[in-house]
Amino acid sequence: MFASGGGPDAPHRPVLLAESIRYLAPEQGGLFLDATLGLGGHSEALLEASPGVRVLGIDRDPEALRFARARLARFDERFRAVQANFKEFAGVLKDAGEERLSGVLADLGVSSLQFDSVERGFSFRHDAPLDMRMNAGDDEEETAAELLARLPEEEIARIIFEYGEERKSRRIARWIVERREAGEAIQTTTELAALVARAVGYKRTDRIHPATRTFQALRIAVNHELEGLEEFLEASIDLLQPSGRLVVISFHSLEDRIVKRALRRLAGQCECDPRLPVCACGARRAVEILTRRPVTPTEAELDENPRARSAKLRACRKLEDVASLKAT
């Protein structure tokens, strides 16, 4: 088990920490929603930024919640944590008796605590059951092994291609299904990693292990990571008070594309065919985008934390007077 608390030995280093806090602008205080609490690194910095800050943290992972609660206990009533999917955050807010938010942070993906917990099966560096559920222990959710045992070959190939951007997705899917048909369905991380390495042909000079993309794809599929993100972003703007900030950190090009397009629509940039008489894409002038280009980690951060390498931060500020639905 890990010790609680931050510092260089904490089991997860918060990514783009200074940049996130700058864009969230917590100096005036108020209630902030940390939609992906994880180990509480960003929440801790928010709570330290001003005594007027309160944080409501959400995570679907009970282990992350245990850690964050211990780490942030010293902030007493200024910090609360709830186990939930951030898709349900409006209900969580209501149950907590809160109405308006000063800021929302979503730091998407997995934490190092999850990734490095051998038995949770996120990594091919250790032999473990192929699980990958963020809400470990929730028996209603399918594990990665169960997904590979059930899905048709074309669907496995689609997941590996779309979420992993793996060019040899069809070949990998074929090998997985052949093995399943031979009565030897994949059960463990190392079985899958070895199969992928053989299917794609592993060269010692390869920069990354050939199974990296397949593992990422499966993790996204098991946890439905892209579903509901757009709705969450829209709903979080509705619950922000005027001038409130939304900051999103993504680690995958598909995620970043969803965030970028949602922020553009919320800033009133209509995506419809200009020949249409009225806007049908839902664009409205509700926010000002604060990051014309995504903010990425500095070389210094990457030297200290290579896991930050694909991070992209986008931020916006809710307008004082939100215009009604745009029709141009």
Binding residues (CB under 6 A) for ligand SAM: these are 12, 14, 36, 38-42, 58-61, 64, 85-86, 107, 109-111, 134
CB of 242 to ligand SAM, least distance (A): 26
Q: Is 85 helix (H, G, I), strand (E, B) or coil?
A: coil
d(CA 12, CA 107): 12
Nearer to ligand SAM, 36 or 143 (CB): 36
Is there a contact between 130 and 143 (Cβ–Cβ < 8 Å)? yes
CB of 32 to ligand SAM, least distance (A): 12
User: Of 14, 9, 43, 39, nearest to 26 (Cα)?
Assistant: 43
Nearer to ligand SAM, 17 or 237 (CB): 17
Nearer to ligand SAM, 120 or 213 (CB): 120
Nearer to ligand SAM, 36 or 169 (CB): 36
Nearer to ligand SAM, 92 or 177 (CB): 92
Nearer to ligand SAM, 215 or 268 (CB): 215
Q: Where are the beta strands (DSSP E) in 114-260?
A: 240-250
CB of 325 to ligand SAM, least distance (A): 27
Q: What is the DSSP string of 23-40?
A: HH-GGG-EEEEETT-TTS
Is there a contact between 111 and 64 (Cβ–Cβ < 8 Å)? yes
Indicate the burial class of 159 (C-beta count within 10 angstroms; 0-12, 13-18, 19 or more): buried
CB of 113 to ligand SAM, least distance (A): 7
d(CA 309, CA 108): 14
CB of 83 to ligand SAM, least distance (A): 8
Q: Is 15 helix (H, G, I), strand (E, B) or coil?
A: coil
CB of 285 to ligand SAM, least distance (A): 28
Is there a contact between 246 and 236 (Cβ–Cβ < 8 Å)? yes
